[in-house]
Amino acid sequence: MAEIRNYTLNFGPQHPAAHGVLRLILEMDGEVVQRADPHIGLLHRATEKLAESKPFNQSIGYMDRLDYVSMMCSEHAYVRAIEQLLEIEPPERAQWIRTLFDEITRILNHLMWVGANGLDLGAMTLFLYAFRERENLLDCYEAVSGARMHATYYRPGGVYRDLPAEMPKVAESRFRKASDVKRLNQWREGSMLDFLDAFMIDFFDRVDDYETLLTDNRIWKQRNVGIGVVSPERARQLGFTGPMLRGSGVAWDLRKKQPYAKYREVDFDIPVGVNGDCYDRYLVRIEEMRQSARICQQCIGWLRDHEGAVMSGNYKVAPPSRVEMKDDMEALIHHFKLFTEGYCVPEGETYAAVEAPKGEFGCYMISDGANKPFRVHLRAPGFAHLASMDEMARGHMLSDVVAIIGSQDIVFGEIDR
Amino acid sequence: MTSFSERNQPLVRRLESLLGERLVRLDQIRGQLVAQITPRNWLEACQTLRDAEELEFDTLIDLCGVDYLGYSDAEWETAQATSSGFSRGVDELGPGRFDWAHRPEAEQIPNRFSVVVHLLSTRRNHRLRLHCHPDESDFPTLPSLVDLWSSANWYEREAFDLFGIVFEGHPDLRRIMTDYGFIGHPFRKDFPLIGNVTVRYDEERRRVVYEPTEIEPRVLVPRVIRHDSRYVGDQLDRREAPNG
């Protein structure tokens, strides 16, 4: 009788369902996975080492490029670490803006996730709808920072500038007909907050629409229910955070348990799963979108009623205004020193974590008193999630591996760093 | 002796009574608790932290290596410059300023490496940071925590890959971030920022080739340390921002 051996399969790194550059070595017994060995690092850019050679502020842009689907949340962790070391507190309005944009980022991330995960598992339609909504939110990114993805909007001491009083409008072009332009500009007559308000009111219905496509869909359930089950105890052991941990039934959310920015003052619920399978994680993320929209509405309400500074007045850390520089020598010197040398951060170390859409994104920073960090370590949620791939995929079919990768919400920018 | 905030007091008391001798030092830095543990007691102390009823650190949230070579070295004269002329540049090979051929000879400093672990208890909602200096600097080793927390697996592989810290008892200590067949540990401070090899596809030989890096090491802003009172903690110059 011929010897029967396990078959080794190379999955990726150019596989469309590998979400970037994942290379999986799968040991197969027929179509059943015996062992999964993810090879990562193909997108390793040594962000942490680069940050050691640059003044603090120049690395904020790198944070956007870590998790390029939830840009501002990574910025938030990095900026908070610097603020903790400097012992400065951003103005209240800046904190509300950060809360607002963290939640916009969460919606952006989950939309991308639900669209891409649907695509992986054969639900094509949803991807197009999710991107329609993403477009509107990315316009808000552009309106505040000038960039649609890599915003560099959060700065130590606040945010780069205040929300725009006018939402930029869509112009007619050979790609956009007048009727489309009219429809697109319907919400854009007022300020950015008016636009966001209209969007959030509408958004609850949009999430319901997505659910009609997936939640009770037979194929969707067959692909997700009972796949990649993780018990709460194992989830803690494996370092899961975010929707992965909540999907397993642990009600842990940094926004509630260790609140930062203005999360203490907003009202929202944490959805929790029961079975810890891919389907529960899907349900958790869908509900999180609704909760995020709720938080956004509360932030919009506060921001409408309260004016104020969005950047700290400490000129050692934040630049003075152009107007001031015209006739104040001190302001000019501060500006020059800040942009040539940066600021020195007192000696010490800190760990700042935020609840990023994928889980706990942390920034561990050591300063030796210089104008550059001595060591930065970024704790990416996806790193711990992907590390559990072997355990989650073992015993499942090859096609389930795609569902598991999808439900882990993998983005290689943050895993490889 | 550092003073502890009221919020941290209960945890501090529990740590001191449960770890006792094994706790070399306990500090509060920027409101966060930092414990120093010797390599000899590493596993035992971590076991207590995970299992003790009142501590219950059920999640290892993060583990990373740190290389303390060149800590608090500056490249820019700040105090004496005016009395010695205008040349402020300090003639040293700071981080990012050397290539592979001219990398500095790493001096033997005690406690050069450190393994930093961030623990979290989701049941009791508290955090703790552990520092542990492996004994030898030229071949740093530390017992592995994989048996206590599964999440340590990849984090230890990363610390091994980037810093060359060997974790004894790790089931699968391979490189994780760097290329297959990579030489050196890139996050050590004596490893050049520009790297040592570049990789490209060679048309003639019709395969991928590795060559020494050709980029000039170039860091624009010097590393400056100012012991200026204005930069010290709460004495930071705080001016009210104009409205708007």
Residue in chain A lying closest to B189 (CA): A49
The partner residue sitting opposite A316, judged by closest CB among B67, B129, B237, is B237
Query: How far apart, in whole angstroms, are the C-alpha atoms of residue B134 and residue B160?
Result: 13
Give the residue numbers spanning the domain of B40: 9-78+85-240
Tell whether B182 is covered by a domain.
Answer: yes
Tell whether B89 is covered by a domain.
Answer: yes
Q: Which amino acid makes up residue B61?
A: I
Over residues B22-26, mean pLDDT? 84
Residue B91 has pLDDT above 70, yes or no: no
Q: How far apart are the first and last CA of chain A?
A: 49
Give the per-residue pLDDT at A111. Answer: 93
The partner residue sitting opposite B241, judged by closest CB among A40, A236, A309, is A309
Give the residue among A307, A214, A366, A393 at the shortest CA–CA distance from B187.
A366
- Helix and strand element counts for chain A (H, E): 18, 8
Q: Please name the residue that has the structure tokens 């942390």.
A: A362
Over residues B203-227, mean pLDDT? 86
Contacts of A222 (CB under 8 A, 6+ apart): none
Residue B9 has pLDDT above 90, yes or no: no
DSSP run (H or E) holding A10: strand A7-11
Give the per-residue pLDDT at A298. Answer: 93
Residue B82 has pLDDT above 60, yes or no: yes
Tell whether B108 is covered by a domain.
Answer: yes
Encode burial over A134-158: b for 16+ CB neighbours within 10 A, e otherwise: bebbbbbbebbbeeeebbbbbbbbb
Residues of A in contact with B31 (CB under 8 A): 84
The partner residue sitting opposite A350, judged by closest CB among B32, B154, B219, is B32
Q: Name which of A212-221, B68-77, B130-139 the model is least confident about.
A: B68-77
Q: Which amino acid makes up residue B158?
A: E
- CB atoms B237 and A162 under 8 Å: no
3-state secondary structure of B111: coil
Residue B238 has pLDDT above 50, yes or no: no
Interface mutation vs chain A, best among B2, B7, B27, B30, most A CBs within 10 Å: B30
Residues of A in contact with B227 (CB under 8 A): 369
Residues of B in contact with A94 (CB under 8 A): none
- Tokens representing B240 are 């009210």
Tell whether B65 is covered by a domain.
Answer: yes
Give the per-residue pLDDT at A80. Answer: 93
Give the per-residue pLDDT at B10. Answer: 83
Confidence grade of residue B12 (pLDDT, cut at 50, 70, 90): confident
CATH number of the domain within which B24 lies: 3.30.460.80
Query: How far apart, in whole angstroms, are the C-alpha atoms of residue A78 and residue A92?
Result: 19
Which pLDDT tens digit goes with each residue over A188-243? 888 899 999 999 999 999 999 999 988 888 999 998 998 989 999 999 999 999 99
Whether the ω angle into residue A13 lies within 30 degrees of 0, i.e. cis, is yes
Give the residue among A178, A134, A151 at the shortest CA–CA distance from A60.
A151
Over residues B217-243, mean pLDDT? 61
Interface mutation vs chain A, best among B231, B234, B240, most A CBs within 10 Å: B231
Tell whether B97 is covered by a domain.
Answer: yes
Give A130→chain B minimum CA distance, Å: 32
Tell whether B181 is covered by a domain.
Answer: yes
Count of structural domains within chain B:
1
Give the per-residue pLDDT at A314. Answer: 84
Tell whether B32 is covered by a domain.
Answer: yes
The structure's pTM equals 0.90
Tell whether B143 is covered by a domain.
Answer: yes
Give the per-residue pLDDT at B201. Answer: 92
From first to last of its 417 residues, chain A has per-residue pLDDT tens of 567 677 888 887 877 777 778 888 888 888 899 889 999 988 898 999 999 989 999 999 999 998 888 899 999 999 999 999 988 899 999 999 999 999 999 999 999 999 989 888 888 888 899 998 999 999 999 999 988 889 899 999 899 888 998 888 888 888 888 888 888 888 888 889 999 999 999 999 999 999 998 888 899 999 899 898 999 999 999 999 999 999 999 999 999 999 998 999 999 999 999 998 999 999 999 999 999 999 999 999 999 999 888 988 888 888 888 898 899 898 899 899 899 888 888 888 999 999 999 999 999 999 988 889 999 999 999 999 999 999 999 889 988 988 998 898 888 888 988
Q: What is the ipTM of this complex?
A: 0.88
CB A133 within 8 A of CB A104: no
CB B225 within 8 A of CB B74: yes
Give the residue among A262, A86, A352, A340 at the shortest CA–CA distance from B238.
A86
Give the per-residue pLDDT at A183. Answer: 85
Residues of A in contact with B56 (CB under 8 A): none
Give the per-residue pLDDT at A266. Answer: 92
Query: How far apart, in whole angstroms, are the C-alpha atoms of residue A90 and residue B90?
Result: 35
